[in-house]
């Protein structure tokens, strides 16, 4: 696809007429408009189609070491004589920290995929751009996860593209 994409007309075609698809279409439109793309259904230069997958839950497990006091060692030894002449030894101890076990942590992750394809609007035209994005974040909201993927796509839309795999990191809490 030739760059820059400024002033090119794009039509965005959602996978269906659901509220979610229309919301994501609007998100694509807003992001592309910020790059100077004109969103239009009347004589577009390009047609952008996208598909979203239904999220699949997967539990991920990890082990963490638990630390604590494993014992004590003599820190200081003092010897004294009492009033009867007997020797007494006093010991001061300090704790020794170490691994006392492990804890298994589990967290639900949600696998999602967003596919984006761009075609010239002419009949029988060949695809000029295809992007497939995957997310396996512990974010239960489809809206938040797909919005982040759409934003990652539109933020880099005017940059020269090369073939290959790219990774976008989406922060989450």
pLDDT score of 123 more than 80: yes
Residues 39-87 have pLDDT tens digits of: 998 899 999 999 999 889 999 999 999 999 999 999 999 999 988 889 9
pLDDT score of 172 more than 60: no
pLDDT at residue 170, rounded to an integer: 58
Tokens of 143: 């809206």
By the 10 Å C-beta count (0-12 exposed, 13-18 middle, 19+ buried), 153 is classed as buried
Tokens of 81: 């004589």
Say how far apart CA 143 and CA 136 lie, in whole Å.
Answer: 14
Lowest pLDDT segment from 22-31, 96-105, 160-169:
160-169
* Mean pLDDT computed over every residue of the chain: 88
pLDDT score of 10 more than 90: yes
Interval 167-173 mean pLDDT: 56
* The model scores a pTM over 0.85: no
Q: Are 150 and 31 in contact (CB under 8 A)?
A: yes
How much of the chain exceeds pLDDT 70, in percent?
90
Q: How confident is the model at residue 165 (pLDDT cuts 50, 70, 90)?
A: low
What is the second-level CATH architecture of the domain 9-60+111-155? 2-Layer Sandwich (3.30)
Tokens of 93: 């101890």
pLDDT score of 5 more than 80: no
Break the chain into its structural domains and give their ranges: 9-60+111-155, 63-104
pLDDT score of 127 more than 90: no
Q: How confident is the model at residue 3 (pLDDT cuts 50, 70, 90)?
A: low
Which of 52, 15, 50 is CA-nearest to residue 32? 50
Would you give the distance in Å from CA 128 to the centre of its chain?
A: 27
């Amino acid at each position: 696809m030739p760059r820059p994409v400024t002033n090119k007309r794009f039509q965005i075609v959602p996978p269906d007429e659901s509220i979610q698809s229309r919301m994501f279409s609007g998100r694509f439109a807003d992001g592309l408009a910020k790059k100077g793309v004109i969103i239009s259904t009347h004589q577009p230069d390009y047609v952008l189609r996208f598909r979203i997958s239904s999220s699949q839950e997967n539990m991920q497990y990890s082990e963490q070491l638990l630390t604590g006091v494993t014992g004590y060692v003599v820190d200081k030894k003092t010897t004294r004589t009492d009033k009867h002449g007997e020797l007494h030894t006093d010991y001061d101890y300090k704790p020794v920290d170490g691994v006392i076990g492990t804890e298994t942590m589990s967290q639900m992750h949600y696998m999602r995929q967003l596919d984006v394809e761009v075609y010239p609007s002419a009949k029988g035209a060949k695809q000029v751009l295809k992007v497939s994005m995957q997310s396996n974040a512990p974010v239960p909201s489809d809206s938040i996860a797909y919005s982040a993927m759409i934003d990652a796509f539109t933020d880099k839309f005017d940059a020269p593209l090369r073939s290959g795999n790219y990774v976008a990191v989406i922060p989450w809490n």
